[in-house]
Structure 1
Amino acid sequence: MKINKRHLLNYSIFLPYLALSILGLIIIYSTTSASLVQKGANPFSSVLNQTIFWFLSLIAIAFIYRLKLDFLKKTSIVSLAIWIEIGMLLYSRFFTETVNGAHGWIAITVGERSLFTFQPAEYLKILIIWYLALTFSKRQEEVGIYDYQALTRGTLFPRKFQDWRFYSALMVFLVAFQPDLGNATIIILTAIIMFSVSGIGFRWFSGLLSLIVAGSTLLLGFISVVGVNTVAKVPVFGYVAKRFSAFFNPFEDVQGAGHQLANSYYAMSNGGWFGRGLGNSIEKRGYLPESQTDFVFSIVIEELGYIGGALILALVFFLILRILLVGIKAKNPFNSMMALGVGGMILVQVFVNIGGISGLIPSTGVTFPFLSLGGNSLLVLSVAIAFVLNIDANEKREAIYRELGDTLSR
């Protein structure tokens, strides 16, 4: 008896994904059309570009959903993907032009015409989950006996190039060296989540979380004491100095370092509980830079109000919860860690973005999942969703086979 996977699609994940993707297209049109009209460009150009990536995402979901999971568990395939990723990160750092003070975008051109650009750092988010899930799932018996030492081999630093810590640290360093500290932060936190769900004792997760909170507090305190201008002299870190300056007091330099965060506050204040109405934002008309990417949720609140923003967040958290539930229920260690990693990655990205626009943490230039303009981000999120849908269908099918086997043996 063969069970077709199309009958096992998890609609509690797929339908929220569709709803958020379509809502994202509406919000992207709302946040970009006015500025495009001012420039004399087609007001639909940004949303059309995002729509193309969405269709590509749906094709990717259909393809990945049909894949056999054994394909994803081949070390040779993951190793090839890692080396390709390292090569793209190196190329994007040393052979591409800067955008907003950073490298990281590779343009695919035909003649003098650029077809599209992609950002290798975005794809590392899902690659690091895949790589660590495969690596840790192969050591489950050792983890059960030796706890975290089964993953670290009892050493603080890697002693071999094959060590997962070496490859992970190398790729994170290349992302930070772009410099792209926003994506580097998400990748680091995602890797910590993967380490925490690998089967090690819960006390290590709480210990890591405490270290992150303490380290972040000390770093911000240090920057506050020595001054942002002093820290800005550190190589690579200089481009984010303004973000830290805005974090401490955005209204001290409203026309300079604090411009974005201050106008983010204005946008949310303008929205109130019920918003000004879709398309009626004031701040998106040149007052709030990056209103279609990093600060898109500020515009969402201005147009739809805190209630509208809360409903969108509720839908996002529902999607994350359903993804995490797949990981919790999964019997296979690889499947479990993949799903938990994807849910954790999306949760971290939401926290970093909302924390940045609200002043809870320094802004890092991270986009909001599904709603921000960015085809690469949407494609990566869609691939991650596809992995979870495939895993969930396979887990359901295996459960049915086990139940049938038990029934026949009675």
Structure 2
Amino acid sequence: MPFAVLSALGIVMVFSASQSSAIINFIKQLIFVVIGCMGAFFFFHMNLNVLRGKKILERILWIIIVSLLLARFAFPPVNGAHGWMNFGLITIQPAEFLKLALILYFADYLSKNPWNERLRIRSQQIIQFSAWRWPAAALVLVIFMPDNGNAMITLMILLVILLASGISRLWGATVVALFSLGFAILPTLIKLVVPASYFNNTSQHYAVSRLINFVNPWENPDASRQLLYGYYAIAHGGLFGVGLGNSLIKPYLPESNTDFIMAIFGEEMGAIATIAVLVLMLILIVRIILIGIRASQQYHRLMMFGIATLLFMQTFVNLGGVIGLLPITGVVFPFISGGGSSYIVMSAGVGMSLNIAAHQKKLVRAHRDDIIARKERL
């Protein structure tokens, strides 16, 4: 239900938030939703064990690595990053498919190489170079696109899968504490790392510029106009919004139907509707986590935790960039932002979740007077 509602809202909002070619963007998003739903239906009915095995997973990673290389060296950059392969009618972002591929890869790998509680180390296979080379190569390519948003999301997905695979509590608590501390002091870290001369230089690299604008968007309003107009849009919307299609900030906000669609959503639909969308996302994420908790196989459990982390981090990074909690990264909001690659990947994740949920054995409570059934349960 949340998946269907969010997808329908996405189609409407892509049309409403588009500055030009609204009909074309509407049709494209509708096609993406149809393809995504077909993908979810396909993964819902397929045998997920087909995706297990080192050879098939490595082949998938090879295809993605080749696509990343093509995007990096054969296609022009978009907003300073080489993350897209533009074929005219369609645009493919390989980094989106990498996230799901790595979830499948490490869910399979870590379920076959469980944590050894006695030795507090994993079996020797986990440190073999052959097991880590292709995922590492793909992740390095994403970092050097540069695609910092997707790189951060991918690293967090891998961290959660690693923690969920049975790592000791001490290591888990240490890693979580370090990441929490790093997030809390992120602006201070940026000020320490980025030289002071960069703050008054308008010609610096776009990634550095985004970090500087995140620290103090009011220092250079012209360079921070995307973030500031996002603030204006949210403030203008208030609690109930100005009405669908009545946005005043949309003409001044770049990427209004993709990266910053939630700013337009907040302006047109209001804060209450925005909270409702976040509640729907939370319901979807929690249900996937519960599926993972109830899963009888470690492979399914790790897969569910990875997909839930993907949806959570996509939501957090996108909305964090819109409201200024995080630097702007170009990450889209799940199911609502325009774009096909992200929608198809997350729809596939929903299909896999439904597949695992459908095949979980539900315990049937025997009647207290049915002695035979109660003995069979025992």
TM-score, normalised via structure 1 length:
0.83
Q: Is structure 2 residue 173 aligned with structure 1 residue 206?
A: yes
The answer (yes or no) to whether the contact 1:92–1:103 under 8 Å persists in 2 is yes
Residue correspondences, number:
368
Contact 1:147–1:200 under 8 Å retained in 2: no
Cross-structure match for 1:77:
56
The separation in 2 between residues aligned to 1:228 and 1:310, in whole angstroms, is 38
Report Cα offsets for 1:221-251 as digits up to 9, x if no partner.
Answer: 243146466569xxxx932112112112212
Q: Distance in 1 between matches of 2:193 and 2:306?
A: 37
Distance 1:189 1:399, change over 3 A: farther
1:152–1:88: structure 2 CA closer, same or farther, 3 Å change rule?
A: farther
For 2:373 and 2:182, the matched residues in 1 are separated by 52
Q: Does residue 174 in structure 1 map to residue 141 in structure 2?
A: yes
The equivalent residue for 1:150 is 122
% identical equivalent positions:
36
Q: What per-residue deviation string (whole Å, max 9, x for no partner) do you get for residues 13-51 of structure 1?
A: xx211111011101111101xx216xxxxx310010111
1:268 is matched with which residue?
Answer: 234
Q: Does 1:23 align with 2:9?
A: yes
**Runs of at least 5 residues in structure 2 that lack an aligned partner in the other structure:** 366-371
> Aligned partner of 1:125: which letter?
K
Secondary structure at the residue paired with 2:86?
A: strand
The aligned counterpart of 1:139 is: 113
C-alpha distance in 2, partners of 1:100/1:229? 24
| The one of 279, 287, 290 aligned to 1:325 | 290
**Which of 200, 207, 213 is the aligned partner of 1:246?**
213
The unaligned stretches of length 5 or more in structure 1 are 1-14, 38-42, 109-113
Q: Measure, in 1, the Cα distance between the counterparts of 2:24 and 2:176.
A: 42
CA RMSD of aligned residues (A): 2.6
Aligned equivalents of 1:212, 1:309: Cα separation in 2: 27
For 1:92 and 1:341, the matched residues in 2 are separated by 25
Query: Quick one: structure 1 residues 399 and 254, their matched pair in 2 at CA, closer, same or farther if it must change by over 3 Å?
Result: farther
CA contact (8 A) 1:57 1:382 kept: yes
User: Using the alignment, how far apart are the partners of 1:134 and 1:399 within structure 2?
Assistant: 30
Asked if the contact 2:240/2:272 (under 8 Å) is kept, the reply is yes
The answer as to whether partners of 2:229 and 2:253 remain within 8 angstroms in 1 is yes
Report the AA paired with residue 197 of structure 1.
A
| Distance in 2 between residues matched to 1:330 and 1:82, nearest whole Å | 26
Name the residue aligned to 1:36. Answer: 20
The answer to whether residue 13 in structure 2 is matched with residue 47 in structure 1 is: no
Matched to 2:153, the amino acid is I
Please name the residue that 2:93 is paired with.
Answer: 119
Q: Report if the CA contact (8 A) 2:32-2:343 is conserved.
A: yes
Change in Cα spacing, 1:147 to 1:211, as seen in structure 2 (3 Å) is farther
The structural deviation recorded for 1:387 is 1.2
Once the two structures are superposed, what CA deviation does each residue of 1:255-300 show, in whole Å capped at 9, x if it has no partner? 22x111111111111011111111111111x211111111111111
Amino acid at match of 2:337: S
- Superposed CA deviations along residues 51-73 of structure 1, whole A, max 9, x for unmatched, are 11111112212222221122122
Distance (whole Å) between structure 2 residues aligned to residue 188 and residue 152 of structure 1: 23
What is the deviation of 1:87? 1.4
Q: Distance in 2 between matches of 1:364 and 1:263?
A: 16
Candidates 304, 309, 313, aligned match of 1:339: 304
Amino acid across the alignment from 2:89: L
Check if 1:280 corresponds to 2:246.
yes
In structure 1, C-alpha distance between the alignment counterparts of 2:373 and 2:331, rounded to whole Å: 48
**Is contact 1:53-1:379 (8 Å) kept?**
yes
Distance in structure 1 (CA, Å) of the matches to 2:34 and 2:180: 40
1:85 aligned partner, one-letter code: I
DSSP-derived class of the 1:273 partner: coil
Contact 2:96 2:341 in 1 (8 A): yes
Among 181, 188, 192, which residue is 2:155 paired with? 188
1:215, distance to aligned residue in structure 2 (A): 3.6
Letter in 2 for 1:213: S
- Which stretches of structure 1, 4 residues or longer, exceed 4 Å deviation after superposition? 151-154, 216-219, 226-232, 397-400, 404-410
The letter of the residue matching 1:150 is: R
Q: CA deviation at 1:169?
A: 2.6
The structural deviation recorded for 1:186 is 0.6
User: Kindly tell me: are residues 227 and 334 of structure 1, through their superposed partners in 2, closer, same or farther at Cα, counting changes over 3 Å?
Assistant: closer
